[in-house]
Amino acid sequence: QVQLVESGGGLVQPGGSLRLSCAASGSIFSINAMGWYHQAPEKQRELVAVITSGGSTNYADSVKGRFTISRDNAKNTVYLQMNSLKPEDTAVYYCYADTRYLRNWGQGTQVTVSS
């Protein structure tokens, strides 16, 4: 089993930046892809970005060119650098890590973009 702990959320003004971190522990040798979803109030959870064990990345159209996902395998941590933030980016951001049979989730971290 994999445990995930997110950090780095908070309140930021439009146009600002935040970096989210997600540290994995437990059965880390079994992790394949990792990524981030977000969920705004009264909306479904949506994929934001994903990074494979080989380093390939993919992004939602709404964040392309503004967000960057990266992975430090030595630290068992995945990051989401968020630039040029917009009010519509406001959501709870959830980290996930896929093993062969299970998707493991973090507890979520709130990101609020507001002036």
Average pLDDT value for the chain: 95
Residues ≥6 apart with Cβ < 8 Å to 65: none
Residue 29, φ and ψ in degrees, nearest 5: -65, -20
From residue 113, how far is each of 62, 78, 104 by CA, in Å? 15, 22, 27
Identify the pLDDT of residue 20: 98
Give the separation between CA 14 and CA 36, rounded to whole angstroms. 21
Instruction: Take residue 88 and report the two structure tokens written for it.
Output: 């519509």
Above 90 in pLDDT, residue 73?
no
Predicted confidence band at 30 (pLDDT cuts at 50, 70, 90)? confident
**Average pLDDT of the segment spanning 84-94:** 97
Identify the pLDDT of residue 1: 87
Which is more confident, 83 or 54?
A: 83
Identify the pLDDT of residue 89: 97
Identify the pLDDT of residue 95: 98
Which is more confident, 13 or 41?
A: 13
Identify the pLDDT of residue 63: 98
